[in-house]
């Protein structure tokens, strides 16, 4: 199945036709297009029911997340083509931003290698490919989605603007938002912003990757990063370290870093926003996280980048 989100930032009718012809040269291809939120999950489940070998997704990270949730614990594999504004997961896999060029790499991979089984994070029943964010970054995503039409034309500038605007006007930087309880009994009582990583980088700003952890990978348990201060100096220091690829911030006094996390719970001091793979999912008062090993089959062009067997 060739699953396309026609509304995604980088998807054009010409691109879709070129890719579909390339896929159909040596494979039987059925085209499916999304028309609303969560539609990709339903289409992926149909692909499983019809025993498709692979679902090739052309869309953004949100479409990929939806499709992955429809393929959990099935024999149908997920294949990724970049079609969104940031394409975090496709770039993490080592794919180029050009979806036509990525198609050539994908076809070569499908011809020579079997899919890898990968682990995913899961929060309140929703699986995620690369990360979930609670608090400040989710509030930023919410502001970006309010201006969704601009993502096609100024995606990275829009994210920077939304981050500054959210910091100034749309997020309570003074009061802690939630506590985090890990399965080993440790507790972080007052967090203002937290990230749960399944892969690294966390995201990209233009060509720059924001790397937060070398411990995150598709064959490893989760990484959590909790931040208790949102002062401008400390946030800029964190972003600067992430761009440089430095892990020195793991030891900062206002950061709690934990790797090898199998499960944890977040309890809100008040309702707090959260996002999964860059999709804003609203406000909640609690979240339950767990790591699910080997639940998704993935076509991986560069498995060594992810610590997977080649």
Residue 143 corresponds to which tokens in the numbers above?
A: 């502001």
Residue partners of 262: CB distance under 8 A and separation at least 6 = 183, 221, 222, 290, 291
Strand 203-205 versus strand 178-182 pairing type: unpaired
A 10 A CB-CB count for 61 gives 28
Across the chain, what does the average pLDDT equal?
92
CA distances (Å), 272 to each of 62, 86, 174, 186, 235, in order?
A: 20, 25, 14, 21, 19
Q: Which residues pair with 204 in a beta bridge?
A: 209
Residue 35 pLDDT grade (very low, low, confident, very high; cuts 50, 70, 90): very high
In this structure, are residues 159 and 84 in contact, taking their beta carbons and an 8 Å threshold? no
Could you give all domains of the chain from N- to C-terminal order, each with its CATH number?
2-112 (3.40.50.10330), 128-293 (2.60.200.40)
Is residue 234 scored above 80 in pLDDT? yes
Residue 112 pLDDT grade (very low, low, confident, very high; cuts 50, 70, 90): confident
Is residue 75 scored above 60 in pLDDT? yes
CA distances (Å), 188 to each of 4, 141, 170, 227, 257, in order?
A: 41, 24, 24, 10, 11
Question: pLDDT tens digits for 182-219?
Answer: 999 999 999 999 999 999 999 988 888 999 999 999 98
CB neighbour class for 250 (10 Å; exposed up to 12, middle 13-18, buried from 19): middle
CA distances (Å), 263 to each of 10, 221, 225, 269, 295, in order?
A: 35, 9, 14, 20, 16
pLDDT reported for residue 155: 65
The Cα diameter of the chain in Å comes to 58
Question: pLDDT tens digits for 133-192?
Answer: 999 999 999 988 887 666 655 566 777 888 888 888 878 888 999 999 999 999 999 999
Strand 126-128 versus strand 116-123 pairing type: antiparallel
Segment 85-108 shows an average pLDDT of 93
A 10 A CB-CB count for 169 gives 8
Q: Model-level pTM? A: 0.93
Strand 263-276 versus strand 77-82 pairing type: unpaired
């Amino acid at each position: 199945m060739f699953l396309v989100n026609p509304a995604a930032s980088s998807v054009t009718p010409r691109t879709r036709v070129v890719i579909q012809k390339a896929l159909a040269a040596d494979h039987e291809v059925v085209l499916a297009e999304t028309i609303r939120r969560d539609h990709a999950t339903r289409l992926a489940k149909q692909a499983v029911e019809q025993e498709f070998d692979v679902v090739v997704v052309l869309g953004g990270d949100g479409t990929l997340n939806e499709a992955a949730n429809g393929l959990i614990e099935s024999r149908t594999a997920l294949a990724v083509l970049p079609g969104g504004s940031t394409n975090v997961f496709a770039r993490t896999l080592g794919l180029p931003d050009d979806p036509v060029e990525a198609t050539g790499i994908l076809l070569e991979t499908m011809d020579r290698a079997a899919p890898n089984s990968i682990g995913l994070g899961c929060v309140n029943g929703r699986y995620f490919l690369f990360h979930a964010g609670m608090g400040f970054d989710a509030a930023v995503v919410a502001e970006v989605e309010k201006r969704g039409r601009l993502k096609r034309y100024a995606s990275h500038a829009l994210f920077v603007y939304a981050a500054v605007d959210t910091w100034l006007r749309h997020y309570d930087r003074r009061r802690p938002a939630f506590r985090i309880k890990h399965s080993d009994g440790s507790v972080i009582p007052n967090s203002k912003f937290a990230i749960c990583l399944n892969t690294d980088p966390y995201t990209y700003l233009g060509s720059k990757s924001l790397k937060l952890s070398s411990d995150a990978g598709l064959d490893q348990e989760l990484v959590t990063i909790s931040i208790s201060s949102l002062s401008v100096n400390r946030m800029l220091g964190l972003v600067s370290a992430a761009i440089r690829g430095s892990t020195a911030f793991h030891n900062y006094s206002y950061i709690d870093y934990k790797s090898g996390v199998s499960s944890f719970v977040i309890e809100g001091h008040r309702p707090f926003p959260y996002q999964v793979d860059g999709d804003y999912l609203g406000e909640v008062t609690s979240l339950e996280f767990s790591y699910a090993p080997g639940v998704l089959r993935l076509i991986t062009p560069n498995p060594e980048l992810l610590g997977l067997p080649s």
